[in-house]
């Protein structure tokens, strides 16, 4: 999730929690964070809604290095295009059910019958282009498993001992491709307005994913994926979660 605009020509979200004022008398500090009743500082988008707060506190920005986890985030970030992340997150349990736990082999085998069943399922976002893109992306993920990727910035910090794969970062398949685009340095935003929505690396990742057959993978969607998976750290400097990935300070 990111306070970003949509990719692929779709409209930007009608409203973004990051732009909403804090509720319940809580005050936004000069650094841009909001201190909640628990005394923890968070960005405005994660300060109010319990579902978003839990996601921010326990998942967002932690290193994801396995194929299934990254495929899930790739698909869900694509479904977010033109919508709010809150909408997608609320439907995530059903997404996991109907997309076979985001097992790429299973989704790659989906055909017309599965597409029609998904379009009839009110528990997910019923968009034919996005559903078909998820299937195409699964096939692309399966196809790249044996491919090895060289990091754009070999001196970037990696993720220490938490990796699945060779050395200090994944080297093959979707994990290898995503983490090959880790930047040499991460943003250090003090306010939501300072958080970028794209980067040179996210543009390169979008090109690489498209070259492998992926769809709905514009630079903004790719940057949001990189944020969610810990490839970059865009936690505000005043947030209690800044540096939680163990990769970036």
Is 55 annotated in the active site? yes
Residue 72 falls in the annotated catalytic set: no
Q: Quickly count: other Cβ atoms within 10 Å of residue 179's Cβ.
A: 28
Q: Is 56 one of the catalytic residues?
A: no
Cα–Cα distance for residue pair 126/116, rounded to 1 Å? 10
- Catalytic one among 77, 163, 201, 227? 77
Given a contact cutoff of 8 angstroms between Cβ atoms, the answer to whether 178 and 231 are in contact is yes
Element at 207 (helix H, strand E): helix 200-211
How many residues make up the chain in this entry?
249
Furthest CA-CA distance within the chain: 53
Contact in structure between 99 and 107 (CB atoms under 8 Å):
yes
Q: Which of 85, 163, 179, 240 is catalytic?
A: 85
CA pseudo-torsion sign 3, 163, 158, 155: negative
Catalytic residue among 55, 60, 179, 248: 55
Please list, residue by residue across 77-112, b when 16 or more beta carbons sit within 10 angstroms of its beta carbon and e when fewer do.
Answer: bbbbbbbbbbebbebeeebeebbbebebeebbebee
> And the tokens for 157?
């910090």
Q: Would you say 205 and 222 are in contact if contact means Cβ atoms under 8 Å apart?
A: yes
CA distances from 36 to 24, 67, 69, 112, 136 (A): 9, 35, 29, 47, 41
Matching residue, tokens 């970030």: 77
Tell me which residues are annotated as active site: 55, 77, 85
């Amino acid at each position: 999730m990111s306070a970003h605009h949509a990719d692929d020509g779709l409209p930007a979200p009608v409203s973004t929690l990051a732009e909403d004022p804090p509720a319940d008398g809580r005050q936004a500090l000069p650094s841009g964070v909001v201190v909640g009743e628990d005394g923890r500082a968070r960005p405005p988008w994660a300060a109010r809604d319990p579902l978003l707060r839990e996601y921010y506190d326990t998942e967002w920005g932690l290193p994801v290095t396995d194929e299934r986890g990254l495929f899930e985030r790739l698909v869900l970030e694509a479904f977010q295009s033109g919508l709010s992340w809150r909408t997608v997150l609320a439907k995530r349990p059903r997404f996991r059910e109907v997309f076979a736990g985001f097992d790429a082999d299973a989704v790659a085998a989906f055909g017309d019958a599965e597409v029609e069943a998904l379009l009839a399922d009110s528990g997910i976002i019923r968009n034919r282009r996005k559903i078909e893109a998820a299937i195409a992306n699964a096939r692309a993920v399966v196809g790249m498993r044996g491919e090895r990727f060289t990091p754009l910035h070999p001196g970037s910090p990696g993720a220490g001992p938490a990796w699945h794969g060779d050395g200090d970062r994944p080297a093959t398949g979707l994990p290898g491709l995503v983490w090959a685009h880790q930047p040499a340095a991460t943003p250090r935003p003090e306010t939501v307005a300072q958080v970028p929505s794209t980067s040179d690396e996210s543009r390169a990742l979008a090109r690489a994913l498209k070259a492998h057959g992926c769809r709905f993978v514009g630079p903004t969607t790719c940057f949001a994926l990189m944020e969610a998976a810990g490839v970059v750290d865009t936690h505000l400097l005043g947030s209690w979660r800044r540096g939680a990935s163990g990769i970036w300070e």
